[in-house]
Amino acid sequence: MKLPPYGSFAPSLIAYAPVHYATEQSIERSGIPFTILRVNSYANNVFWWLPPILASGRWITSAGEGRTAYIDRLDVARTAAAALTNSEALGRVDLGGPEALSTSDIASIAKDIFDISIALQQVAAGLPAGVAKHLTSVDATTRNGGFDGVNDLVVRLTGVPPRRFRDFLIENRDGLLAARAAK
């Protein structure tokens, strides 16, 4: 099976990628001018995966030194609104944050913000099968460069630079700590 591309960089192993890609192909074949924003990885998903890491001080991953250009959903919303009001059809465009970060970069940022050391363990074991499959597909796509697309689309369309991941964590520090306590 040929894997669909994710962003401009690498094929995606993520289970929902083929559906997204098929939708893009259908829109492209329609002949109608279009803009498709291929959103990288939402910074807001941090509420799902970071609290258990903060609680345990351990991050089990198979992403290696792959990088992700996390983007805040508010930057995505502003960019989508600007794209909808823009008379130019941009085609398929990648929408990433202002910097691409590895798991070690994020562990370092978390240490600064939360004063918690995070031990990275580069494996994927001990998880329920479905969760392990999804996480390892995300990690493999990360490792292969599928999420490292930094670009200037947010600022080009909105005039406002996207928020850095560090700033997102600082603004959401209390909520993440509360979520950690609930784990």
Q: What's the pLDDT tens digit per position in 11-68?
A: 566 777 778 888 888 999 999 999 999 888 899 999 989 999 999 999 988 888 889 9
Q: Given the structure tokens 């030194």, which residue do they identify?
A: 65
What is the DSSP secondary-structure string of 95-159? E--S--B-HHHHHHHHHHHH----EEEE---SS-HHHHHHHHHHHHHHHTTTT----SHHHHHHS
Q: What's the pLDDT tens digit per position in 123-156?
A: 755 566 666 666 677 777 777 777 778 888 899 9
CB atoms within 10 A of CB 12: 23
pTM as predicted: 0.75
Start-to-end CA distance of the chain, whole Å, equals: 38
Domains and CATH numbers, the chain: 5-182 (3.40.50.720)
